[in-house]
């Protein structure tokens, strides 16, 4: 009697397992690169990466990290339900006059647990002309 009961329970568990499909969250970004282009020193450095949970389980973003302190990412607070959209805001410090080449890594419970997002561009200070421009101007004036 005990053997039969164990066998029935075992068969029951196996058949349950074949019907239950794992639900997964999937994160799909509209774009994984944002190009700031050429922007002025002190310009608005905030940009937004939009994404959709294309899976069938709630998406939880556990962390968002940047490669340096000049880029501050903000993650959504709560879970993003299947079919819903969310955004990751990135704020770049535009007081730094130089090319922008930064990576933001998104950690979540999605099928792809880490996603790398990139920002690029160039911050220029129009009040300061470069040494090269000054040389070109002096050569033209001669």
Give me the pLDDT at residue 126, please.
Answer: 84
For residue 90, what is the domain's CATH number?
2.60.40.10
- The residues, any chain, with a CB within 8 Å of residue 38's CB and separated by 6 or more, are 121, 122, 124
Domain of 91 in residue numbering reads as: 27-124
DSSP letter for 136, please. Answer: H
Residue range 107-131, pLDDT digits in tens: 999 999 999 999 999 999 988 755 5
pTM score, two decimals?
Answer: 0.75
Strands 33-40 and 114-124: parallel
Residue 141 lies in a domain: no
Q: How many domains does the chain have?
A: 1
**Could you read off the pLDDT of 19-51 as tens digits, one per residue?**
456 899 999 999 999 999 999 999 999 999 999
């Amino acid at each position: 009697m005990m053997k039969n009961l164990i066998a029935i329970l075992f068969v029951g568990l196996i058949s349950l397992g074949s019907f239950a499909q794992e639900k997964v969250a999937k994160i799909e970004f509209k774009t994984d690169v944002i190009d700031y282009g050429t922007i002025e020193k002190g310009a608005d450095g905030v940009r937004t990466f939009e994404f959709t949970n294309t899976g069938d389980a709630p998406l939880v973003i556990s962390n968002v990290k940047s490669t340096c302190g000049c880029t501050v990412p903000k993650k959504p607070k709560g879970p993003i339900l299947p079919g819903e959209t969310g955004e990751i805001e990135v704020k770049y410090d535009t007081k730094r006059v130089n090319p922008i080449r930064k990576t933001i890594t998104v950690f979540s419970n999605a099928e792809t647990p880490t996603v790398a997002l990139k920002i690029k561009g160039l911050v220029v200070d129009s009040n300061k002309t470069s040494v090269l421009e000054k040389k070109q101007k002096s050569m033209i004036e001669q």
